[in-house]
Amino acid sequence: MKKNFLVTTGLIDTWEFNENNFLLGKWCEFYEFNDFDKKKFKREMPQGISIIKNIYHWNNNEKKFVDYENLKNVHENLLEIISSKLSIIHNINGNKEYWRVIISNWLGQYITIIFDRWENIRIFFEKNNTEKFYSNFIPLNDLDYIPKNHEKFITYSQSDEWNHLIYLRLLRFLNIQNLSLIKKEIVKEKLNTNHQTKDSPVDINIIKLADNIISKFAFRFNKIIFDTFYFPKKEYLKICLRCKLIPSIYSNFFNFSVKSNGLLKDDKRTRFKKLLLETNTHDKFIQFLLLNLHNDIPESYIEDFDMIRKKILPLAKKKKIIFSMHSMAVNDNFKIYIAETKKVGSKYIYSDHGGGLTVISDEGQKLDPLFNLNEKISYKIIRYDRTEKNKSIYFFLSPTLPIIRLKKKKEVIIAVLFLLKRENTQSNLRQDRIWTNRLTYLMNLLSLSIISILKLNRK
């Protein structure tokens, strides 16, 4: 009789091809990934593999919006806790709003990702609580997956290895009675994974180098900073001439690195762990977060924070108006700069990328994966949303896109939706079906008919 094996990620080595393989989600289907050698798989693996697929919990829209409200509260409570602990270990007078600018986006992603994995496990074993299950695990070292910064965290959160580690922590914490974990000794370097990295084109690197040289002078001279903004060139030059600015997009200005203090030489992470464990809560999910935050929080908020801040402080002394579109998302250096320069009265103005369409439920409930971060930290916001009633939010289009004008009746617009093989679950909260509906809505506004919508899986 075949045994039941739970598969949590796309790591091939955790499968048991001669047993029943219960897949936790679509991300486990490594044989469907574009960069997987399907011919080799069919040639080397046994025929008739038993695969049982699971229904994804956020396919249920009602649950998704209920969870969103819950996660929003968890995020705000944890932000309060973490802010005070970070101020202690860095010996600075940083309140909750100061740390909101720096860590809120990362924390929101982290909480949502962990909750998604938590629910996958919880719901699976609620449905399968009578049968015996096994799950293979590969011992991985937590220290190998501490991210350098927010951007590196996103890379890890998309990897099977990191998710395997998270699921293993969850399975051990939840102590599921009808599950037995089986250790598989595999050297990390020999894991069967499907990751590819691409270098930036040479011409892009040259442009960044040139802009980096100009931006050093522009940042000192300009009172208005347009950070990583996508302007039509002529429009941007007109703005610079009118405002007497040195043209620069600061594409690489905040992308500096600092020499790491080293995890073994600095005890701040250990102190942070101890401070978090002083927090009392009866909520099991929050307990899990408090136990594991020290393993996953980026070095840029712990070991490297003081050095980044020291380099940022001279830049943050002058009062400026900063327009930005992308950097607040994952650039920790930029986030620390904004938190510091706001102290001297600088004004941060955020423009939504792509117009900032918001996911809305059938009942009119809005879902913002950033938990309204931009509304809370920005002086003004530029957003194409005529339903917005907040007077601090301008609903006119920013000059990042030319107005669409149809010169001929038979013009065609091609829209392609790229889907990641594993969404990092801020994306899971707004799935492809929602974006398909939004695309349909846009086409209707433009009085266009949709011939077809093509969705492609990104490698």
Contact status, residue 292 vs residue 145, Cβ threshold 8 Å: no
Give the ranges where 346-459 is alpha helix by DSSP (H).
373-377, 432-445
Q: What amino acid is encoded at 297 in this protein?
A: I
With left for phi above 0 and alpha for psi between -120 and 50, is residue 371 left, alpha or beta? left
Sign of the Cα torsion 16, 195, 431, 284 reads positive
- The reply to whether the predicted model has a pTM over 0.75 is yes
Tokens of residue 52, six digits: 């049982």
pLDDT surpassing 80 at residue 194: no
Other CB atoms closer than 10 Å to residue 386's CB: what's the count?
7
Question: What does the pLDDT read at residue 453?
Answer: 55
pLDDT band, residue 209 (cuts 50/70/90)? confident
Question: What does the pLDDT read at residue 232?
Answer: 77
Question: What does the pLDDT read at residue 196?
Answer: 45
Sign of the Cα torsion 389, 390, 394, 397 reads negative
Question: What does the pLDDT read at residue 120?
Answer: 97
Question: What does the pLDDT read at residue 416?
Answer: 59
Contact status, residue 54 vs residue 25, Cβ threshold 8 Å: yes
User: What's 313's DSSP letter?
Assistant: H
Question: What does the pLDDT read at residue 405?
Answer: 46
Residues in the chain: 459
Domain ranges of the chain: 416-458
Let me know the angle formed at the C-alpha of 321 by 320 and 323, rounded to the nearest 5 degrees: 135
Over residues 266-285, the pLDDT tens digits come to 689 999 999 999 999 999 99
